[in-house]
Chain A
């Protein structure tokens, strides 16, 4: 499997998983009335602060046989977490977490509270309100979250470098492969791969943003069928 394809697979997996985890976390952060909420908001933003290689270094320690993640994983699957695709996914999820939660949270917060009250008064459960009112009105934020996670993971370098071990087909992503070519002074090959990565990313991002525009104009709401 080529490095570009591997990067795509990683980016799609991470974006999908982060959406699943990001939705409840963002919902809680947007609607909870707990006074200490700001602390959790700060924690969510923390991966933005650390340099990726440093974040990757801590991920490596956490995944090691002496780290908490590594111990749990080893007990469950019988092998280490570092140098595996699953390890990359986990580290990348941590790294891109703020990019999933923050757009979701702001779009949830922007939903008119009167609509939520109306929904509740009409007898809808919180889950029904979430499904039929909040989600359709937050489509922009959801798309932004998916795109940001995808793009951020696709271009990720430092974290993958630190926990990946550069295994072809398993952890050698496009950014690592390009870096390798540069290190080997094969600038031509590096340029070629970088160009392909840019073209693919540009196409994907354009399509998504075009869809997003279309969605906003026509209020395309796949969830609100009933």
Chain B
């Protein structure tokens, strides 16, 4: 009995020691985490860059790849650093109305930008249409149908059980998808196959994971590294109302001149070239 008790005490002590060691390790790791990013930023920026203002940009999910490239090019001009947050335009709209601290808003839907302008939350005269989104049929390379060859006909194939589109109630690409299906005259035939993604990137995930065989997604996503190997077919621009994407500088922006400079850069020849590369077109081109 005594032997057992001693054993228990030993085990208890060992447990306490192990617990203390683990706690100490976690503490060190978390402290390192707190200190390290600050240290890294200081080292990277140096004294000259430290004085550059930081532009906080809210950008629609379909801009993910284009915006990264645009930001890198703009930062070379040494006007400002960019801090981009991607998300749903509708969410950003609600957040900005409630005081979210952004300097610029790139919406996937011109309407949101217009509404902010009308509500007096945008800098006067900054509302602009910076790009037009393009809709494509997309399928995995190993999909049962070849959308590149068959176009709309691929959707009628019996082996296509599910077709992913963005939610037509609020997502601009979803509205365009329904309009395109209607103008192709197959909406009623494929209606029962449709599944809805919350936004265009989630819609792409449905197809990329193979749960939906085909999807109607943004060309800007279809050309991205993870999806460019799939098969795609561009929906003719006339089949749906243009997906006009609007941007504004926000009234609450901390550095308005830098924000305006970035917006001008996006609309410059270099900016447009980048946007074209990532699957966007422009109003003048579309009309």
Contacts and interface: CB of A to CB of B under 8 A. Distances in A.
A66 B210 CA distance: 7
A183 interface: yes
B239 interface: no
Interface in A78-114: 79-80, 82-83
Q: Could you say which interface size class chain B belongs to?
A: 20 to 34
Given A165-B197, A166-B198, A183 B167 contact: yes
A92 to B, nearest CB: 17
Contact of B90 (A66, A83, A185): A185
Contact of A83 (B88, B162, B167, B205): B162
A63 B211 contact: yes
Contacts of B161: 79-80
Contacts of A60: 205-206, 209, 211
B227 to A, nearest CB: 15
A219 B171 CA distance: 54
Contacts of A179: 198
B131 interface: no
Contacts of A57: 205
A64 B93 CA distance: 33
B51 interface: no
Nearest to A65: B210
Contact of B211 (A64, A184, A185): A64
B234 to A, nearest CB: 24
Which of A57, A66, A165, A180 neighbours the largest number of chain B CB atoms within 10 Å of its CB? A165
B170 interface: yes
B169 interface: yes
A18 interface: no
A80 B211 contact: yes
Contacts of A61: 209
A79 B192 CA distance: 14
A61 B171 CA distance: 24
A162 interface: yes
Nearest to A87: B211
Interface of A: 57, 60-61, 63-67, 70, 79-80, 82-83, 161-163, 165-167, 179-180, 182-185
26 contacts: A60-B205, A60-B206, A65-B210, A66-B209, A66-B210, A67-B209, A79-B161, A80-B161, A80-B162, A82-B206, A83-B195, A161-B202, A162-B202, A162-B205, A165-B164, A165-B195, A165-B196, A166-B198, A167-B195, A167-B196, A179-B198, A180-B167, A182-B94, A183-B167, A183-B171, A185-B94
Given A162-B205, A179-B198, 5 more contacts: A61-B209, A64-B211, A70-B210, A161-B202, A183-B91
Interface of B: 88, 90-91, 93-94, 161-162, 164, 167, 169-171, 195-198, 202, 205-206, 209-212
